[in-house]
Amino acid sequence: MSDLDNKTIVKNGLWDNNPALVQLLGLCPLLAVSNTFINGLGLGLATLLVLAGSNASVSLVRNFIPKDIRIPIFVMMIASFVTNIGLLMNAFTYDLYLTLGIFIPLIVTNCAIIGRAEAFASKNRFLPSLLDGVMQGLGFTAVLCTLGALREMIGQGTLFAGAEQLLGSWATSLEISFYLTDAKFLFAILPPGAFVALGVLIAVKNIIDSRAAEKTKQRTNNQNISGDVITNE
C-alpha cells in the first residue's frame, strides 16, 4: 500500500479509481446537485477541500487512534471540516450556499470521503495522503462539473449560469446561452436525467479504457515483452 508512487496516486484519483465513475461513491450529492455547471463546481470544490483536509489529518493521527473506534473518530474529523467549509461558504458565497442547501452539511455522509480515510489515509504517510485527497477530490469535481455542464446545456440551454454565485459579480457575463426556449427539457434537470447522464459517462469511460487496453495488448504482443503490470491498489 504505502509504496504507491505519486504518479499512480494521481492517476487513480483522476481516472483509474475515480470516486464517481469507478467506485460509484457519493452518488447522492453527485446526482442531486449536478444540474448546473456552477452547482457542480461549488459542491466539487467543497468536497475537495474536505477530502484533502480529512485525508491529511487522518494520516497524521493514524497511529494514535484505537482501531476499534476509528470510524466514529474519522466521521468527527470529517464533520469538523465540513462545518468549517459550510461556515466559509455561508460567509463568502452566500447565494451558492443557499442553492446547495442541505447538500453542504451532507458532505459528511459522502462515502467517498470516509472511504478514502479508511482505505488510504489510515495506512499512509502525510504527503501521499494529502495528495490522494486532492486527487480524489479533483476526480470527483471533474465528474460533477462534466455532469453539471451536460445537464445544464441539454436541460436549459445555458452554460455557466449563476457563475456570479461562486466567482463574484463580474462572472455574470460568463453565462453562455445556446438556445432560448419556453419549454425547458425538464428531464435533464430532474434526477432521472442525472442517472442517465452518469450512465453515459461511465459507458464512455469504459469504451476509452477498453480501447486503451486493446492497444497495450497489441503493443505487448508485438514486442513480445512480458513485464510486471502495475495493478490497482
Taking CB under 8 A as the rule, does residue 192 contact another protein? yes
Q: Which of 28, 76, 127, 190 binds another protein (CB under 8 A)?
A: 190
**Which is nearest to 107 in space by CA: 184, 170, 25?**
25
Q: Which is nearer to another protein, 36 or 122 (CB)?
A: 36
Q: How far apart are CA 55 and CA 132, in angstroms?
A: 8
Span of 44-52, 54-62, 187-195, 205-213 interacting with another protein by CB under 8 A: 187-195
Taking CB under 8 A as the rule, does residue 94 contact another protein? no
Taking CB under 8 A as the rule, does residue 180 contact another protein? no
Which one-letter amino acid corresponds to residue 162?
A: G
Q: Are 189 and 155 in contact (CB under 8 A)?
A: yes
Smallest gap, in angstroms, from Cβ of residue 115 to another protein? 28
Work out whether the CA dihedral 97, 133, 190, 172 comes out positive or negative.
positive
For the segment 197-216, give every residue that binds another protein (CB under 8 A): 199
Span of 56-64, 73-81, 94-102, 178-186 interacting with another protein by CB under 8 A: 178-186
**Which is nearest to 116 in space by CA: 103, 134, 143, 104?**
134
Q: Where are the beta strands (DSSP E) in the chain?
A: 158-159, 176-177
Q: Which of 28, 88, 98, 186 binds another protein (CB under 8 A)?
A: 186
Taking CB under 8 A as the rule, does residue 183 contact another protein? yes
